[in-house]
Amino acid sequence: MTELVRLDNLWKVYYVGTTSVPALRGVSLTIREGEYVAVMGPSGSGKSTLLNVLGCLDRPTGGHYWLGDRDVSLLSDNQLSDVRNERIGFVFQSFNLIQQLTILQNIEVPLFYQGLPRRERHPWSRRLAEMVGLGDRMHHRPRELSGGQQQRVAIARALANDPLILLADEPTGNLDTATSTEILALFDELHSRGRTIIMVTHEEHVAAHTQRTIRLRDGGIESDVHKGAEARA
């Protein structure tokens, strides 16, 4: 399996006034294609920061980050936009759909910024809507949908650009248990089709769906457990 993500002694330091607050202290890890990874840790452990850096929303203060074949730790704002646009899919806790757009238009947003003409966007986004089971709701607005349905739209949107990695930030945090199970099933299905997924969560039962759990504490990796290895041990 090829390496998709490689972090090499990654530091992220925030400066508040004159004091510096390190959020990540030399994190190194690799994630291979097709892995399903959970990132866990108490609040303040640096998991949000790690997700922001992985998602190219934030630049590391030190160290290197290879995403696919490219070192993205030193890119400009514009280049990072392109990387996010082409290589990363985001799923947020609060769905973050654009309210005045229809479901179909929401799914198309990443393609829109790729400059894909409408003719080419439509068939693809239709297929994605159907894939997440919302083929009959394509022209509705987000607020007409239930939370679970909205999260499905968000997942379809995250897949629109066929990303290298799918980043999910507490994707079931705003959902009830039954809906959470549906959404997690969808992630499982994506994983079984070979999608690389990195999911931040603080719930053990969510992490149980993944193959590998990385626990952070105080900006460093506390443990990194592969389920297969655990079983073997």
Partner 1 sequence: MKAVHKAADIIGLGLHSLVVHLGRSALTALGIVFAVWSVIAMLAINEGFSYEAQQALRELGSDNIIIESAKPPDMESKASQDSGGILRYGLLHADVRRLRGNVPGIRRCVTVHRTIKYGYRPGRNLRVSVIATEPTYADVARIETTRGRFLSAADLIRQKAHCVITESLARRLFPVEDPLGKTLRLGEEPFTVIGVLAKLPPALAGEGGEMGSHVIIPITSGKMRFGEYTIMFGTGGGTAELVEVSQIILQMDDEKAVLHGANISRHLIGRFHEQEDYEIKVPLELIEQQKKQRRLWNIMFLTIASISLVVGGIGIMNIMLASVTERTREIGVRRALGAKRRDIVTQFLVESVTLTTVGGLIGIGIGLLVPSLVEWMLKLRTIVSAATLLLPLGMAIAVGLVAGLYPAFRAARLDPIVALRHE
Q: Which residue ranges make up the site for partner 1 (CB under 8 A)?
A: 52, 55, 57-58, 77-78, 81-82, 84-86, 90, 92, 96-100, 109-110, 112-118, 157, 161
Which of these, 60, 130, 145, lies nearest to 97 by C-alpha position? 145
Q: Minimum CB separation from partner 1 for residue 167, in Å?
A: 10
C-alpha 27/C-alpha 22 separation (Å) is: 12
- Considering the complex, state which of residue 11 and residue 92 has its C-beta at the smaller distance from partner 1: 92
Residues 6+ apart with CB under 8 A from 5: 29, 30, 31, 54, 65, 66, 67, 165, 198
Q: Minimum CB separation from partner 1 for residue 97, in Å?
A: 8
Q: Minimum CB separation from partner 1 for residue 218, in Å?
A: 21
Q: Minimum CB separation from partner 1 for residue 202, in Å?
A: 17
Residues 6+ apart with CB under 8 A from 74: 59
Q: Minimum CB separation from partner 1 for residue 141, in Å?
A: 11
- Considering the complex, state which of residue 1 and residue 74 has its C-beta at the smaller distance from partner 1: 74
C-alpha 83/C-alpha 86 separation (Å) is: 5
- Please state whether beta strands 197-200 and 165-169 pair in parallel, antiparallel, or not at all (unpaired): parallel
- Considering the complex, state which of residue 18 and residue 78 has its C-beta at the smaller distance from partner 1: 78
Give the CA-trace dihedral at 99, 95, 88, 140, to 10 degrees.
-40
Q: Minimum CB separation from partner 1 for residue 214, in Å?
A: 21
- Considering the complex, state which of residue 195 and residue 209 has its C-beta at the smaller distance from partner 1: 195
- Considering the complex, state which of residue 82 and residue 182 has its C-beta at the smaller distance from partner 1: 82
Residue with tokens 């759909």: 97
- Considering the complex, state which of residue 40 and residue 109 has its C-beta at the smaller distance from partner 1: 109
Backbone φ, ψ for residue 32 (5° rounding): -95, 165
Q: How crowded is residue 124: how many other Cβ atoms within 10 Å of its Cβ?
A: 16
CA of residue 42 relative to chain centroid, distance: 19
